[in-house]
Amino acid sequence: MKKFGIFSMVAALALTATIGFAGCSTASESSGSSQVAEDNSLQKIKDSGKFILGLDATFKPMGYTDENDQIVGFDIDVAEEVCKRMGVELVKQPINWETKETDLEVGKCDCIWNGMSISPERAEKMNLSDPYMKNAMVFVVKSDSLVTSIDDLKTAKIAVQNGSTAQDILEKSEIKDTITVSAIATNVEALQQLEMGLCDAVFLDKIVADYEIKTSGKALKVLPEGLEEEEYAIGFRKNDQKLRDEVQKILVEMKKDGKLAEISTKWFGSDITTVKAD
């Protein structure tokens, strides 16, 4: 009986210790997990009262600096409405497009919202919204150019924005080994080089090309065939899920109540947005 009693006591103590350690371990792991999962991105914006949007301020018509030195555009109008519904102020922060991921990560801005095409590389580095608009990558040449198809560009000098998906697509294309790629800081400068005869074509977003040709009256044309179709999305920091989801929720609301269509019609003549309202 004595031996049995001692054994029982030891077993009980061992079991108690095991449960105690397990409890401590679970609490610790739970605490660590909550720290990792903590996301105050939305609350931070509401507390500061400001939502900082990073953009290349030359990207017509999505977000650019107009003749009055004001940053305007389709994305800007949409972001203004989103901020109005969030109860915060929109702050427009021009950035270098080539370093956008770094600027976002270090906190220079709260999102990248500027006709940004979705790519696997960007999806890996950023927390992307759902697509909100379709796009295609096209070649622009002078109106009097004898170039009529991609085949005519096989030995051409082609300008492209540095750090853009257009640059990535062009450098992976079938014609990459025969063309000369000239990486330029902005699409505006690339088109200027085309007008001056410093390159044979510019490879860029169709939305941008169509808008620039329509509003500027420049003697340029878009070739009927491009290389790839794309979609635009908004980029947030990887852990900023609550902020990302709040913006996405408001975009869906704007699609349902017609505000998104109103802004799109203002800039493009019709609703070309692809936000799903259900």
Domain 41-134+231-268 matches domain 136-230 at the CATH topology level = yes
First to last CA, the chain: 72
Which pLDDT does position 28 carry in this prediction?
A: 37
Give dist(CA 121, CA 73) in Å, integer.
26
Fold of 41-134+231-268: D-Maltodextrin-Binding Protein; domain 2 (3.40.190)
- Taking a C-beta distance cutoff of 8 angstroms, is the pair 159, 193 a contact? yes
Which pLDDT does position 6 carry in this prediction?
A: 34
Which pLDDT does position 36 carry in this prediction?
A: 55
Q: Which of 185, 201, 186 is nearest to 140 (CA)?
A: 201
- Taking a C-beta distance cutoff of 8 angstroms, is the pair 194, 201 a contact? yes
- Taking a C-beta distance cutoff of 8 angstroms, is the pair 105, 95 a contact? no
Ranges of each domain in the chain:
41-134+231-268, 136-230
Dump pLDDT digits (tens) for 232-257.
999 999 999 999 999 999 999 999 99
The pairing of beta strand 157-161 with beta strand 180-184: parallel
Q: Could you say which residues of the chain have pLDDT below 50?
A: 1-35
Give dist(CA 219, CA 228) in Å, integer.
24
b/e per residue 201-234 (b: at least 16 CB within 10 A): bbbbbbbbbebbbeeeebebbbbeebbbebebbb
Which pLDDT does position 3 carry in this prediction?
A: 36
Give dist(CA 228, CA 226) in Å, integer.
6
Strand partners, 182: 159
Neighbouring residues of 182: CB distance < 8 A, sequence distance ≥ 6: 157, 158, 159, 160, 190, 193, 198, 199
Which pLDDT does position 16 carry in this prediction?
A: 42
Which pLDDT does position 33 carry in this prediction?
A: 41
The angle formed by the CA atoms of residues 139, 123 and 183, to the nearest 5 degrees, is 35
Which pLDDT does position 183 carry in this prediction?
A: 92
Give dist(CA 56, CA 87) in Å, integer.
25
Residue with tokens 């200027």: 192
* CATH number of the 136-230 domain: 3.40.190.10
Would you say the C-alpha torsion 40, 50, 77, 111 has a positive or negative sign?
negative
Which pLDDT does position 176 carry in this prediction?
A: 85
Dump pLDDT digits (tens) for 50-83.
999 999 999 999 999 999 999 999 999 999 999 9
Which pLDDT does position 12 carry in this prediction?
A: 41
b/e per residue 101-126 (b: at least 16 CB within 10 A): bebbeeeebbbbbbbbbbbeebeebb
Round the CA-based radius of gyration of the chain to a whole number and report it. 26
The length of the chain in residues reads: 278
Which pLDDT does position 110 carry in this prediction?
A: 98
Which pLDDT does position 266 carry in this prediction?
A: 96
